[in-house]
Structure 1
C-alpha cells in the first residue's frame, strides 16, 4: 500500500474532512504532519475577525497525524520563520512515505522539505495563489525568478482552479505536472436537510423583522478592507426600495466603521461571527450571497462554495479567485472590484424578477457538485496510481 505524507501547518476545516476520506478509501496510508505544533490546534486569535476562534467541527478524526515540534520564536502561519521544525525531515523519513504532499512553500520547514525530498520521492504541492494582484515592476520579476526556482522542486502541483493554474504555468510548471484538484467544502453538510435549514433561516429572519417577500443580500466573512464589506452599504444607499435587506455576518477591525456608516438604516443588519455548525442556516438568511473583495490575496473564496451548496445566487468581484470557475450569468455576476453600479443594476432586476432568482439558485447548487471532496480524493489517488505504474 502506498504511503502519502501530508505536510501542513495546522488542522483546517476545509482540508481535514478530505484527509479522512482519503484515508478511509483503504487504498493508501495517510499521515499528516502538523508543523505549527500543538499550539496550532484549538482556539486561536484571528486578527481578521479580531477575536479568538475555535472551530466547532471535528478536525482530527479518521486519519493518522502527529504534531511536529516548532521552535519558532513567533509561531504561526503568517510569516516565513513562524514554522521551524528541526526534526521534521527525520520524522517523515522514519515513516517511509512513497510520496509527499506539501501545503504551501512560504514557511522555513516546508521549503526545506521541498528541497530535501525532491528526486527522493515524488513531491506533490498544494497552494492556491493567483496572478490577480500582480503589479508590474522589478519586484515582480525578482519574485518570478525566485518562484520558478521554488517550483523546480515540485513534481505535481494540485491546482484549485483556472486562476491558480495560470499562476503555476507562469512560474515554470508544465501542463503534464498540473492536476486539477478543486477547492471544495463539505457539500453534503450544506445541501442536506434543506427544508429544516430553510425554516430555521425563515424563523431567524422573522426575529430580524425581515419579511419572507424581502430580497436579502448576505455577506459573511471578516470585516476587513480586503473583503470590502463597505460596498454593501454603497449599494444600499443606491437602492431605496424597502423590500431589499442587507445582512453582514462577521467581525473585524471595520466593525464600528461599518455600523456607523449604516447610519441606522433599518434595512441593514449586523450579526457576529457564526461558527461552522450554524453556517448552513446562515447562508439561507440571504437570497443572494456577495463577496465584494478588493484584494490582495482573495485567492479563492470558499464562502462562495458554501453559499452555492446552500443554493444561493452569487455576486463576486473580479478579485475573487473562484469567480471564473464558479460564477456565470446563469447563477450570478462577476463585477469590477470597488465598483457598485453593476451590483445595483443586478439587484434591482432581481427585485422585479424572483423567477430568475430561483433559476440562479438551482444553477448554483447544480454547478458546485463538481467541486467536492470526493473529486479531490479521486484526483490524489489517480496521481498515486500513475506513480505506481512508473515503479
Structure 2
C-alpha cells in the first residue's frame, strides 16, 4: 500500500516500554504519514525493574524509549491526549486504566484499534459460570473496539470465536527486529568457537537451546527429559538453558550436565542462537513465543509445542517441528530428526521469518488506519 498525503495522529497506549516493541515503534515514528505518540501505564527508571518471571532485577541493554515521542500516563491529561488524536491504538485491556482509556476514546468518538496476545490455546474462557462471565466481560470490551490487529492466526481465531466480523480483523504480525538479530548473529559467528570454549562445549558437539523464563508454563523440564531419553546414534547434544526463574533448582537436579547461563541480555542473545543447532520451546498455554522469532531470525531451526501460539504461522516440517504439548516421546524423536537436518532447516527458518517482520507490521497498521479514517 502506498503512503497517503494525510498524516494520521496515532495515540498508542501500552502497559510499559517493551524490548520487542521499541524498534517497531521507532520504525512507525519514521513514517511520514503517521504522527505517533506513545503513553505508558508505567515506566522504569534506567530500563531497570524486577521481573517476577526471571525472579531477579533486569536492566535491558537496549534503549526502550528513544526514537519516538512518549510519556507516562500519570503525567498527562488522558482526555486531552485522546481528544488530540485521530486514532487510538491499545495493547490489551487487562487493567482498569486501559479500560478507562478505551471508554474515553469511545466517548470522544475516536476509532479504536485493539491489539492483544489473546488466543484460546493460552487463554481459554473456561466453562460454567466463570466462562460465561468472562465471555460477557470480553464482549463488552469488544463493543468499544472498531478494528482488531491480529498478531497471528490463533489470535485471529480468538476474535472470530467471539463474534468479531472478519472485515474488522487486520493482520499485524507479532514480530521482532529480524534485521538486527540476523546481523548480530552474523557477527557472532566469528566468535562462535570462543563461546563454545567459554561454555565448555567441544567444537563438534551439537547444541540444543532453551531461552526464556525457567517456569513450569514454559515446560523446560520436558526438554531435559526428552534429551535424556532420546535415541542418539552419536554423542548426545549439549543442552543450554538461557534464563532464570522458579524452576531453575529443579532443572539443575533433573539435568546436572546441562549448562545454565542465567539471564542473558538482548544484544547478547544472537550469539546463543547462532551457537545452537536447534531452539526448543515446549510451553503449555504460550500466547505467542517471540523467542522463536529471534531464533529463526538468527538462522536456527525450532521445535515448539502445539500450544505455542506462533506454531501455526511460523513452523513447518521444513524449518522445525510442532509436537504435542507434554509429549516427551514425540519431542525426543523431533530432536533427533531436526538435529540431523539442522543446517538446512535453519536456512529455511531464516527465510520464513523474513516474511514475518516490521515491513508487514507497517503494512497492516496502514491498512487499519485507512479503515479507521472511513469512520470519522
Structure number with greater CO (CA < 8 Å, separation at least 6) is 2
C-alpha separation in 2, matches of 1:98 and 1:207 = 53
**Structure 2 gap ranges (5+):** 1-6
Residue of structure 1 aligned with 2:112, choices 101, 118, 123: 123
Matched, 1:17 2:23: yes
Are the counterparts in 2 of residues 151 and 172 from structure 1 also a CA contact under 8 Å?
Answer: no
**Structure 1 gap ranges (5+):** 71-84
Are the counterparts in 1 of residues 316 and 322 from structure 2 also a CA contact under 8 Å?
Answer: yes
Q: Which residue in 1 is equivalent to 2:310?
A: 322
What pairs up with 1:186-201 in 2 under 5 angstroms?
Answer: 186-192=177-183, 194-201=185-192
What pairs up with 1:1-391 in 2 under 5 angstroms?
Answer: 1-36=7-42, 38-39=43-44, 42-69=47-74, 87-93=77-83, 96-118=84-106, 120-133=109-122, 134=124, 135-192=126-183, 194-239=185-230, 241=232, 242-262=235-255, 264-265=256-257, 268-295=258-285, 298-350=286-338, 353=340, 356-388=341-373
- 1:306, CA displacement in angstroms? 0.1
Structure-2 change in CA distance of 1:198 and 1:179 (3 Å): same
Structure-2 change in CA distance of 1:21 and 1:186 (3 Å): same
Q: Provide, for residues 325-356 of structure 1, a one-character-per-residue CA deviation record: whole Å limited to 9, x for no partner.
A: 111111111111111111211222345x3xx2
Answer with 172-181 or 115-124: which moved more.
115-124
C-alpha separation in 1, matches of 2:271 and 2:360 = 25
- 1:193, CA displacement in angstroms? 5.2
C-alpha separation in 2, matches of 1:40 and 1:136 = 42
Q: Which residue in 2 is equivalent to 1:82?
A: none
Are the counterparts in 2 of residues 191 and 309 from structure 1 also a CA contact under 8 Å?
Answer: yes
Q: Provide, for residues 42-96 of structure 1, a one-character-per-residue CA deviation record: whole Å limited to 9, x for no partner.
A: 21111110000111111112211111218xxxxxxxxxxxxxx9x4233432xx1
- 1:39, CA displacement in angstroms? 4.3
Q: Which residue in 2 is equivalent to 1:74?
A: none
C-alpha separation in 2, matches of 1:172 and 1:17 = 33
C-alpha separation in 2, matches of 1:250 and 1:3 = 39
- 1:115, CA displacement in angstroms? 1.9
Q: Which residue in 2 is equivalent to 1:81?
A: none
Structure-2 change in CA distance of 1:39 and 1:271 (3 Å): closer
- 1:116, CA displacement in angstroms? 2.3
Are the counterparts in 1 of residues 176 and 290 from structure 2 also a CA contact under 8 Å?
Answer: yes
Q: Which residue in 2 is equivalent to 1:78?
A: none
- What secondary structure does 2:74 align onto? coil
- 1:152, CA displacement in angstroms? 1.0
- What secondary structure does 1:173 align onto? coil
